[in-house]
């Protein structure tokens, strides 16, 4: 009988780690080639220095334009889309049977927007929490009701 392969994704807006469990008493295996990390950029590295100027609504004055979106949010959304794309491909290639995700609610929501039907079918549960700084040996405690390690 083929073992059930469970992937655990531990992610936030800048880092994603994937671990694999192949059944009871098998523990967690980090899939190092599957990890993703976005280099933390300073806002000044993301946006141009000059946002432009616009005329005021009354008179001849001009003022600097306000930034419309937070550049860090844009980078987090881009990273979430990249992680979702990676998971989508892996789901289509049947690299895992089920997926459990631990990520802050905002990152989880951003990723879910990009999940395809194959991935949606394999998504079993989620933990709305950032566990990226938890040592690998301690991760099973957070998933004990979902996976038999």
Q: How far apart are CA 105 and CA 30, in angstroms?
A: 23
SS3 sequence, the chain?
Answer: CCCCCEEEEEECCCEEEEEEECCCCCCCEECHHHCEECCCCCHHHHCCCCCCEEECCCCCCEEECCCCCCHHHHHHHHHHHHHHHHHHHHHHCCCCCEEEEECCHHHHHHHHCCCCHHHHHHEEEEECCCCCCCCHHHCHHHHCCCCCC
Average pLDDT of the residues in 47-65: 56
User: Is 107 within a domain?
Assistant: yes
The domain tally of the chain equals 1
Q: pTM for this one? A: 0.77
| CATH classification of the domain holding 131 | 3.30.420.60
Among 10-14, 15-19, 72-76, whose mean pLDDT is lowest? 72-76
Residue range of the domain that includes 82:
6-38+71-143
Q: What is the pLDDT of residues 59-85, one digit of tens each?
A: 666 555 555 667 777 888 999 999 999
User: Is 60 within a domain?
Assistant: no
DSSP-assigned beta bridge partners for residue 62:
55
Q: What is the pLDDT of residues 99-140, one digit of tens each?
A: 999 999 999 999 999 999 999 999 999 999 999 999 999 999
pLDDT band (50, 70, 90) for residue 41: very low
User: Is 65 within a domain?
Assistant: no
| pLDDT at position 46 | 45
| pLDDT at position 106 | 94
User: Is 14 within a domain?
Assistant: yes
- Extract the tokens encoding 62: 């001009």
User: Is 149 within a domain?
Assistant: no
User: Is 139 within a domain?
Assistant: yes
């Amino acid at each position: 009988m083929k073992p059930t392969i469970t992937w655990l994704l531990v992610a936030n807006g800048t880092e994603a780690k994937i671990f694999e469990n192949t059944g009871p008493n098998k523990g967690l295996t980090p899939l190092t080639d599957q990890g993703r990390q976005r280099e933390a950029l300073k806002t000044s590295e993301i946006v141009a220095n000059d946002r432009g100027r616009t005329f005021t609504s009354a008179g001849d004055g001009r003022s600097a334009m306000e930034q419309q979106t937070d550049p860090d949010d844009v980078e987090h959304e881009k990273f979430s889309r990249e992680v979702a794309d990676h998971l989508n491909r892996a789901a289509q290639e049947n690299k895992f049977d089920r997926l459990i995700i631990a990520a802050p609610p905002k990152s989880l929501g951003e990723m879910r927007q990009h999940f395809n039907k194959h991935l949606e079918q394999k998504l079993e549960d989620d933990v709305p929490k950032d566990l990226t700084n938890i040592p690998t040996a301690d991760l099973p405690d957070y998933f004990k009701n979902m996976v038999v390690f």
